[in-house]
Amino acid sequence: MNGTTRTVKVGNVLIGGGHPTIVQSMWKEAIGQIDTALTARVDALGRLGCGILRFAVPDMDAAERLGELAAVSSLPLVADIHFDWKIALRCLDFPIAKIRINPGNIGARWKVAELAGKASDKGVAIRIGVNGGSMPKDLEDRADRPAALVEAAEREVAAFDELGFTALIVSMKASDVDETIRANRLFASRHDIPLHLGVTEAGPAIPGIVRSTAALYTLLKEGIGDTIRVSLSDSEENETIAGSEIVALADGGRKNPSIISCPKCGRAGFDTHAFLSRWQGRIYALGKPVTIAVMGCVVNGPGEARHADLGIAGGGGKAIIFRKGAIPRTVPLEDADSEFGEELSRL
Amino acid sequence: MNGTTRTVKVGNVLIGGGHPTIVQSMWKEAIGQIDTALTARVDALGRLGCGILRFAVPDMDAAERLGELAAVSSLPLVADIHFDWKIALRCLDFPIAKIRINPGNIGARWKVAELAGKASDKGVAIRIGVNGGSMPKDLEDRADRPAALVEAAEREVAAFDELGFTALIVSMKASDVDETIRANRLFASRHDIPLHLGVTEAGPAIPGIVRSTAALYTLLKEGIGDTIRVSLSDSEENETIAGSEIVALADGGRKNPSIISCPKCGRAGFDTHAFLSRWQGRIYALGKPVTIAVMGCVVNGPGEARHADLGIAGGGGKAIIFRKGAIPRTVPLEDADSEFGEELSRL
């Protein structure tokens, strides 16, 4: 969240200007049949905290399908286009919210002008997405990588500035955490354009979440960044949960459920891992800022998690279910799931 | 890594005094039969970057089994003891490296003296582990939680100081990230005792890794913290991979493999998720600082990951395998796994 950037409208969402940091994800597959299964998954991503959803649009067929989805989607959609500017123009015939293009991909100035003109007419934002792995030739080998990322972005910004197009968002992503942090700090010190933060090619879930948190939490805590994506070799749902958690920690004002739970140890009589794997999805789907505790030990559990809205602590063949301000209830372990489920639905 | 703390010996590992930050994990189950399966798993944790391994010791039987394991373990072992100081004394009959006790659990002063004396004779370190969820009664409701955590730790430190026992490590863990950061900053500003960092009840993998990275990366970057544990409702292996990644990012001098990989998108012709799920374990088990890239796209992949020691990029029914400084090779997609495996074993 950054109070010093200009505000850019992305569908029904406002980015920058001190508005809450928006979490994004990107669809992992080609856009298929637009059916209720697809729209239900989009809705579910929204409940997990996803505020904007991006799709790769590699060809005209994909543009048509994205257009069909945009007409019914509960989330603002972004068309991600490489190389072919005509695909971008076609996407602008539909109610999409943003276009993401790669620097240098559009080509001739008149093409940029046509694209900016049509986006402006339709009220569609444009994100310039600079990527450390695909830099302009003359910047590729510059030793100061953060400065090179910023310069690549500034060249694109200049092209849109000349045209008077201001609904811009910029991202500068590297696979290196320090480089990503430094590039965004430098850009933020010079411009009032909202920043989309991310680490690129961040890897599978564990290293990807570590790298994304290190870069994005650090920047958001400094007031840099208006929207983020945690990019993982993992599902859209997991990208969204991780992104929501980073924003909750960095900005405060949590909007998603918080799960606290024991790591399990040789003392624990309750399999918190198995319990969580059964309940985690439903807890996150609540889509509101409740704290749920899953504790491995009836002795310390309820005490350690007494601030939780709902908690369970197991051990010795029984479970204790506790709610903030209510007297803890002891139930047999075999009833723990059903009792927990009932309490959860009351939240 | 912190150059200003005193050095404490934990088995064959040095903690504090500017020595490299050590990653720890904790065993999730009761200690079972000491057999080759158990010792092989301990060895494997070492290759993933685990430098110290902790076990809950809830009773005398567990102490005996820990002693048996300590005699053959490739990693220094820590006995985690609550309530019963006699279990701690028994553990000190074996070649363990450290004892972790909870504040106030030991009780009478003469018991503390006996424990410190025996630990000193045996050259065993003691970690004082203060936990936000189990604070002394008079500190429980203090509004300034970080100061309360520090005071709880300082009371315990004072008891050992009076006895002249200096092989101390302190941890102050809360489930709240800010609280954990502030408590450790405050303690580090006052004492030269090495700090063990962690967020307690951090949750399942995704929120747990986000919270742990936010707190631990922030502190390590400030030069605070000498050893860390990422506590997750997930496996010891995943705790270790996450911890190793945090230390690599914060301290530099990576010792573990780095995987960079695409998140997959509607353009990708190669299932990076499935490929990684087959290979991730073997890559991390290499136990050395190589960079492996798994890219979803033959067009940009090899360019974006040209600094990788070994990379694969798939698409269009073929895969490109590239090694730093070598000419990329194109292989049919069905041979990708076997070719990648061969190259991996050459690293």
How close A188 gets to chain B, by Cα (Å)?
21
CB contacts < 8 A, A to B, total 202
Q: What is the ipTM of this complex?
A: 0.96
CB pair distance less than 8 Å for A201 and B262: yes
**Which tokens hold the place of A74?**
């509960």
**Which tokens hold the place of B162?**
């009076």
What is the rounded CA–CA span in Å between residue A246 and residue B199?
15
Distances (CA, A) of A140 to A133, B32, B347: 8, 55, 27
CB of B34 within 8 Å of a chain A CB? The answer is no
Residue of B nearest to A63 (CA): B266
pLDDT of chain A, 347 residues: tens digit per residue = 566 899 999 999 999 999 999 999 999 999 989 999 999 999 999 999 999 999 999 999 999 999 999 999 999 999 999 878 899 999 999 999 999 987 677 778 888 899 999 999 999 999 999 988 888 889 988 999 999 999 999 999 999 999 999 999 999 999 999 999 999 999 999 999 999 999 998 999 999 999 999 999 999 999 999 999 999 999 999 999 999 999 999 998 889 999 999 888 887 778 899 999 999 999 999 999 999 999 988 766 777 787 899 999 988 889 999 998 788 899 999 999 999 999 999 98
What is the rounded CA–CA span in Å between residue A306 and residue A298?
12
How many Cβ atoms sit within 10 Å of the Cβ of residue B23?
27
Per the DSSP assignment, residues forming a β-bridge with A260 are A293
**Mutating which of B59, B265, B278, B306 best tests the A interface, going by the most A Cβ atoms within 10 A?**
B265
CB pair distance less than 8 Å for A260 and B26: no
How many Cβ atoms sit within 10 Å of the Cβ of residue B317?
10
CB of B77 within 8 Å of a chain A CB? The answer is no
Name the residue among A201, A213, A280 with its Cβ closest to that of B261. A201
CB of B234 within 8 Å of a chain A CB? The answer is yes
Nearest alpha-carbon partner for A232 in B260, B143, B176 = B260
CB of B73 within 8 Å of a chain A CB? The answer is no
What are the DSSP calls for B149-202, one per residue?
HHHHHHHHHHHHHHTT---EEEEEE-SSHHHHHHHHHHHHHH--S-BEE--TTB
What is the rounded CA–CA span in Å between residue B5 and residue B15?
9
CB of A261 within 8 Å of a chain B CB? The answer is yes
CB pair distance less than 8 Å for A262 and B304: no
Q: Given this model, what pLDDT does residue A270 score?
A: 86
Residue of A nearest to B178 (CA): A249
**Which tokens hold the place of B260?**
């960079």
Contact list, A203 vs chain B (CB under 8 Å): 258-261
Contact list, B58 vs chain A (CB under 8 Å): 266-267
Contact list, B246 vs chain A (CB under 8 Å): 210, 214
In chain A, the domains with their CATH numbers are 8-251 (3.20.20.20), 258-345 (3.30.413.10)
Contact A226, A21 (CB under 8 A): yes
CB of B227 within 8 Å of a chain A CB? The answer is no
Contact B288, B310 (CB under 8 A): no
Q: Given this model, what pLDDT does residue A78 score?
A: 98
Contacts of A81 (CB under 8 A, 6+ apart): A57, A87, A88, A91, A99, A100, A101, A105
* Residue in this structure with the two tokens 């002063």, named with its chain if needed: B109
Q: Given this model, what pLDDT does residue B108 score?
A: 82
CB pair distance less than 8 Å for B267 and A58: yes
CB pair distance less than 8 Å for B204 and A57: no
CB pair distance less than 8 Å for B265 and A232: no
